[in-house]
Structures are given as C-alpha cells and as structure tokens.
Structure 1
Amino acid sequence: MSFLSSFSPLLKTTTSLLKFQSPSLIAVRTMMKTHKGAAKRWRRNSTSFKRGIAGRNHGNGGWSRRGLKVLSGRKTAHKTHIKHLKKLLPFS
C-alpha cells in the first residue's frame, strides 16, 4: 500500500493538468508511409514517375529481336496515375 501512496501526488497533478488542456490543442496525425511495393517498381522523374516494362524476364525464346527491343527500356506514368503515385510515394 505504501508503494501506491508514494505515487498518489503525482497522479493528482497529472489529472489536474489534463482537465485544463483543450482538446483542440492535441493533434494526432497519421504517419505517412511509403508503399514498398510501389517503391520497388516506380522511380521519380522531375515531373512524373517511370517504371520498367513487363514481359522481358523469361519465356522469350521464340521472340524476334524487334519484339524484345520494344519491351526494353522505361515507361513513364500516365497523367491520371500521378496523383495516386504521389500518395503512395510521399518521400521520393
């Protein structure tokens, strides 16, 4: 019982401080997090985002060189996806 009585003055002061604090002063914001799946696939340009083109990893035995050349390189994000990508990648 003596253990709890030593903390009772501390508990009284913290509860009295909480009474006078306005709830509008306490602001809780959610943490912005990077979507790791999007971060592995997309890179930031100056104005947009870029990604690799799919379909070049395996199973390309019967393909012509011209067909494989089309699949190499990078592709930029469509203008309708940029707003969504900015939310997924806030720190890039």
Structure 2
Amino acid sequence: MFSHLMRSVASCRRVLTHFQSPILVQTRTLMKTHKGTAKRWRKTSTSYKRGRAGRNHGNAGWSRSSLKSLSGKTLAHSTHIKHLKRLLPYQ
C-alpha cells in the first residue's frame, strides 16, 4: 500500500546524498495581530492609547463633571504594555 511512498522517499534520499551539504531553509512563523485589540488601541511613541468606556448610552441623570471625566482618550497602564506589545506586534 505504501510502496510508492517508500520509493519516493528513497529517491529523495538519493538526491540529498548527491549534494555535499543540503541547503536548509529556515522559516519563522509570523505573529498575528489581535484584531479586536487593533481596533481599540493606537500606538503612541512610548505607550498605547484608547478611548474611555461608558459614554455611549444610559447617561441620563449623570452629572456633567462625571461625564466629562469619561470623555477623551486615556493611556495604557504600565503593567499592560507588555501584553499590548504581544497583541500588536506590528504597530
């Protein structure tokens, strides 16, 4: 059943022994970008920034000062930088 495979392996072995040093091609697996993280975070010079949560709906009755603190962008905490670098390798 496997005789044709064994013949092809033997022929490959013959080809490899014909050369003095076989050429080895080493490939590296590429890291994948986490697309959910890429949509939420942007790279700055030393850190990452994101929009703040909690401002889209359900804000009736909130004071203006508490809503103002939720607006704008914020930087990543220093303990999260290592994880973000792994999730966003090419940014």
* Same fold by TM-score greater than 0.5: yes
Where does structure 1 lack aligned partners over 5 or more consecutive residues?
1-7
Counterpart for residue 76 of structure 2: 77
Contiguous gaps of at least 5 residues in structure 2: 1-6
CA distance in 2, matches of 1:76, 1:36: 19
Amino acid at match of 2:41: W
- Give deviations 1:18-47, integer Å, cap 9, x for gaps: 45637xx34242221110010011000000
SS at 1:43 equivalent: strand
Q: Does 1:58 align with 2:57?
A: yes
Per the alignment, residue 33 of structure 1 pairs with: 32
Identity of aligned residues (%): 63
Structure-2 change in CA distance of 1:31 and 1:71 (3 Å): same
TM-score of the superposed pair, with normalisation by structure 1: 0.74
Further displaced range: 26-35 or 61-70: 26-35
The alignment yields a C-alpha RMSD, in angstroms, of 2.5
- Structure 2 distance, partners of 1:64, 1:71, is 11
Give the TM-score normalised by structure 2.
Answer: 0.74
